[in-house]
Amino acid sequence: MILDKIDELLKEVQNLSAQNAEEVEQLRLKYLSKKGEITALMNDFRNVAADQKKTVGMKINELKTLVTERINQLREECATQETGDEAIDLTRTPYPVQLGTRHPLTIVTNEIIDIFSRMGFVLADGPEVEDDMHVFTKMNFAADHPARDMQDTFFISQHPNDVTKNILLRSHTSSVQARVMENMHTEDGKLTAPIRVICPGRVYRNEAITARAHCFFHQVEGLYIDKNVSFTDLKQVLLSFAREMFGPDTQIRLRPSYFPFTEPSAEMDISCFICGGEGCGFCKHTGWVEILGCGMVDPNVLEQCGIDSSIYSGYAFGMGVERITNLKYRVSDLRMFSENDVRFLKEFESAN
């Protein structure tokens, strides 16, 4: 009796068909579920005579294998059919393509470059993995300057007895200026052409990561060297930049400061563009906001780079891109620039 039932099911399974995945699932439940045909045969198998158990068992296994293979075959056929139907449906409405946006730091960097390019500055670039000579020595840093310490600089290889062999991640883009000056003079220290470059790039410093500081950030530095360059030239360039960047009513002020590679040196503030210089929480009620450092190139720097300081003079300036971006868009946490949060980045779609 059980053998007749198995033979009947074998013929039935060979002719199984389905039009979609739902029908395939119904067939699986009919034959292979806990309440299906195969399970029922296994329950009846306990009542089979001992001399027939081997034959009946083989038949049940054969049936189960055939059912499994047939259902898998039908499942693949339905999946292929559904995929094919989707591929040739030319009447379907296409999915909208989501447009990306530039990173806010890229937006601001490009804006800074554009402003200075219109003043005659050209782009210059250099390696992020640098040597001590270009990062510190040629920039007039003393041998015992704190910036050379491991607490400030990421050293890749360090030689305490020979700093010229030190390899590090650059801590400022002034190293690019050193390389430009090296390649722009003749053997007697005369310039082959006036130097007027803008140097954007990423820099690294060994600092704790907080809302106001990071171990890597971005700078834009400028350098102009020629005969008879004065501090007045520097002030006029920076005033023009500030008004292009923050609005035509922007005022600037220069405060005395110190940098190893410039003398005299200054820090530049702009009038607060939120309160108009009257004082608010953003400018700490001073009416001014600091944006960059600047100064006249120290003669020692010119000489270190092979340029005759008795003939030439120049100015340099540098600003943090994150700082300028914070001022323009009032981003409260510096870490948001490097966390790749799509919600944050989408806020800058209109700035492209």
> Residue 10: its pLDDT value, please?
80
Interacting residues of 15 by C-beta distance below 8 A, sequence separation 6+: none
Q: Higher-confidence residue: 45 or 132?
A: 132
Q: Which two tokens stand for residue 52?
A: 């027939």
The percentage of residues in the chain with a pLDDT greater than 70, rounded to a whole number, is 96
d(CA 302, CA 226) in angstroms, rounded, equals: 11
d(CA 352, CA 347) in angstroms, rounded, equals: 11
Contact 166, 158 (CB under 8 A): yes
What pLDDT digit, counting tens, does each position of 226-246 carry? 999 999 999 999 999 999 999
What pLDDT digit, counting tens, does each position of 196-206 carry? 999 999 999 98
Interacting residues of 296 by C-beta distance below 8 A, sequence separation 6+: 229, 231, 234, 262, 263, 264, 313, 314, 315, 316
Q: Spell out the long-range contacts of 53-58 with Cβ–Cβ below 8 A and sequence spacing 24 or more.
A: 55/3, 56/2, 56/3, 56/6
d(CA 265, CA 35) in angstroms, rounded, equals: 88
Interacting residues of 316 by C-beta distance below 8 A, sequence separation 6+: 174, 177, 221, 222, 223, 224, 261, 262, 294, 295, 296, 297
Nearest to 213 by CA among 223, 203, 221: 203
Q: Report how far apart, in Å, the C-alpha atoms of 244 and of each of 112, 237, 238, 312 are.
A: 9, 11, 10, 29
Residue 212, phi then psi, degrees to nearest 5 = -115, 0
What pLDDT digit, counting tens, does each position of 297-331 carry? 999 999 999 999 999 999 999 999 998 998 888 88
Residue 128, phi then psi, degrees to nearest 5 = -80, -30
d(CA 43, CA 76) in angstroms, rounded, equals: 31
Per-residue confidence at 350, pLDDT binned at 50, 70, 90? low
> Residue 31: its pLDDT value, please?
82
What pLDDT digit, counting tens, does each position of 82-101 carry? 555 455 667 777 777 777 78
How high is the mean pLDDT of the chain?
Answer: 86
The percentage of residues in the chain with a pLDDT greater than 90, rounded to a whole number, is 42
Residue 116 scores a pLDDT above 90:
yes
Contact 140, 304 (CB under 8 A): yes
Contact 38, 63 (CB under 8 A): yes
Nearest to 177 by CA among 65, 290, 317: 317
What pLDDT digit, counting tens, does each position of 325-338 carry? 988 888 878 888 98
